[in-house]
Every structure is written in C-alpha cells, then in structure tokens.
Amino acid sequence: MNQMLSIVVPTRNEAANVSTLVQRVSEALGSSEWELIFVDDSDDGTPDAVAALAHPRVRLRHRPVPDRRGGLAGAVCDGFAAASGELLVVMDGDLQHDPAMLPALRGSLDEVDIAIASRYAAGECAAGLDGLHRVLVSRASRAVARALFPRVRRVRDPLAGFFAFRRILLDGAPLQPVGFKILLELLVRGSWRSVRELPYRMAERQSGSSNASLREGLRFGTHLLRLRFTT
C-alpha cells in the first residue's frame, strides 16, 4: 500500500535553497504519494520563494514572531499537526540532507517504526558540520544523551535531524518540544519498538546559516534535564 509521505521542513532564512530542495525531492519521490510542508520562521524572502513555486505538493506554514514557540522543534511539531500522511519525515532546508535518501527511509518503514539517516551508523563521521567546534559539540551531546537515556543507547545517532517514522508513534507521546533535537524526544517518549539507522554523510551547507547557537545549546541542556526527570 502506497501510504502518503509527509515531509516536514523547518526553515529559517532559507530562500536561496527552496527551489533546489523541492526539485530534488520531486526527483527522488516521483509520482508516489508525498507532500512537503515548509514550517517557516524566517525574516527574509523564504515565504515568497515557496509561494512562487506554486507546486501542488508543497505547502507553507509561516510562523510570525509571536508564534515561534519551541524553536525548531516547535516548528516541526506544528508541521506534524498540519501533515496529511501516516508516514512522516523530518529534514532540514539547507540542502545538507540529501533527498535521494527519502526512498530508502520510506522503504524502511515497511519493517521498522523509525528510520534514521545516521551520521554514525557506519562509524564516526561528522562531515558537513561547520568547523571543529560543532564536531566536538555534536559528539559530546550524543554521548551525554546516550548516557542519560538507557532506552536510546542502541541508537548511534539519537540527535540526527533527518529521519522518518510512523505517525502512530505520536499517539500518547507527550512531546514538549524545545530547541532542535526532536528525534531524541521521540525516542524517549514515543511508543516505538524497532529502529533502523541508514549510513549517511551530510553535505556541505550551500547557503544560509546553522540553527545551532549558544541559545540553542542552553535550550538543549535544559531539555535533557527535563526529559531525564520527567520520563
């Protein structure tokens, strides 16, 4: 059965990437059932770039400043609420996540609950991260997350930003999104049984800037503590 795949893409000032991303998604998924939802927190021309495409499978949810609750993870959850599909994908809009992975992620959901495009499935690989500092922060954050939550220790990349899962996992999962690590919350709170990690190398950033910042780092630390003591 060809179930609808809803791709949720949180964006912030990604106007230069919108057209290329949609083209690559279209090439990867062809005539299968899919939709792409941009959840946009931009202050540039990203909404106009999406509207200019007039693509029948592409939708936009622009969040004005007062509605940008929860950071990037809040945008993703807004995308989940707007999505039509029973299969959900989260991916970035900066072209570091290659849409060519989408068929493999979708196909994996025939056998598992969560499929992750993992930077670490085939060993240590942090290609695509901007500089040594982000590499070290990524590795340290991953180690802390796996140490704090025994349930996710068998997942090598619990902080990945490119993953697919069945919508049913959201049933009864009290997601409280903060920051930008929505996969970790899904792994901790969701009712999943099986997961598959597909080896993946992030591409270099084409344009725009990273969502990672000191503020997001502090949000992540606070969120880790809240998850640890409320689950």
62-100 pLDDT, tens digit per residue, is: 999 888 887 788 899 999 999 999 999 999 999 999 999
Between the alpha carbon of residue 137 and those of residues 27, 116, 194, the distances in Å are 34, 20, 27
127-168 pLDDT, tens digit per residue, is: 544 444 555 656 666 777 776 777 888 898 988 999 999 999
Phi-psi region of 123 (alpha: psi -120 to 50; beta: other; left: phi over 0): left
Q: What is the pLDDT of residue 223?
A: 64
Residues 210 and 148: their CA atoms lie apart, in Å, by: 26
Mean pLDDT of the region 31-53: 96
Confirm if 91 and 97 have CB atoms less than 8 A apart. Answer: yes
Mean pLDDT of the region 93-118: 96
Mean pLDDT, the chain, whole residue set: 84
Mean pLDDT of the region 214-222: 59
Domain boundaries, the chain: 5-230
**Hey, what amino acid is at 174?**
P
**CATH superfamily name and code, 5-230:** Spore Coat Polysaccharide Biosynthesis Protein SpsA; Chain A (3.90.550.10)
Q: What is the pLDDT of residue 218?
A: 60
